[in-house]
Amino acid sequence: LVYEQHGEATAVVQLKNLEVPKLGDSDVHVKMLAAPINPADINMIQGTYPLLPPLPAVGGNEGVGEVLEVGHRVTALKPGDWVIPADSGFGTWRTRGLFPEKMLLKVPSDIPMLCAATLSVNPCTAFRVLADFESLAPGDSIIQNAANSGVGQAVIQIARASSIKTINVVRDRPDLPKLVERLMALGADHVVTEEMLRKPEMKDIFKSIPRPRLALNCVGGKSTTEMLRHLQPKGTMVTYGGMAKQPVMVPVSAFIFRDVRLRGFWMTQWRKDHAQDQESVAAMMDALCQLIRRGQLTAPACTEVPLQDYRAALEASMKPFVSSKQILLL
């Protein structure tokens, strides 16, 4: 799926037949199996993302493929291995591709395909924001908005596996009870709407669990300000997305009297910073794969779409209130 100019995804993305280049010494020939459509993929096509591949470009930053053939200098991979992108700007929306070995990470092929296809962005983001900003112990709590997003669902499950309580904020919607039920089934402790954040009933939640030391923000605007109120003094809020396209507004009193910390996180930057630190990357991937094998981390709610129906998948991924991730089957 190629785009030659930036613009609305459904208008500029086209399905094209391309030749696979000749295999080089350090190259790996990969048959892609499945690739999701993430918000960052759409932003790249629109030209609004901070990282843009040169045009023409193949869409998609995440997915899983099977190694078909390797160049004679390739040591870590062999035919039959499953691989995922080591970095973004990869172009996963294709049936086959030739990639340098260093652009690929091997993943176990005994985990479900949809878990592998959605492993390198959202679960990694969830893992890092939970691990890198506050040292959380069993019984501690966190609060997050956009709790039904891919990252939100992964945060709930990873926190649950470590006995960390989660307060999960979602937008009010027609099928709210169904969504609440689904998040509770994943291991959410509390699910509240943005409106409930400013109601006195919030105090009841803190009778049974401590106030959160960590807030995870993917929305911005009013939702963030309200969430911040419930943070412990000296707590940290990490912003990793801005779905409302509104700034993060913080009352001065939160800084002065409660000494809250505001941080930002971008998975792409973390990968750049740790490019020479393969131990950290391997430890994270191993921890996530262990959770998947134990049934403690599942793929987000997914809708599987054949590659030729890509336009419908792109349209569906841009609709509001969609809790199901579109996955292209390749």
Catalytic residue numbers read 49
How far are the Cα atoms of 116, 173, 231 from residue 180, in angstroms, in the given order? 26, 11, 22
Alpha carbons within 13 A on the beta-carbon side of 241: 24
Report the chain's C-alpha Rg in angstroms: 20
Instruction: Name the 3-class secondary structure at 82.
Output: strand
Q: Give the containing element (helix H, strand E) for 217.
A: strand 214-217
* Euclidean distance between CA atoms 35 and 37, whole angstroms: 7
Q: Residues 217, 240: contact at Cβ < 8 Å?
A: yes
- To the nearest 10 degrees (0 to 180), the angle between helices 150-161 and 278-293 is 80
Phi, psi of 145 (to 5 degrees): -100, 175
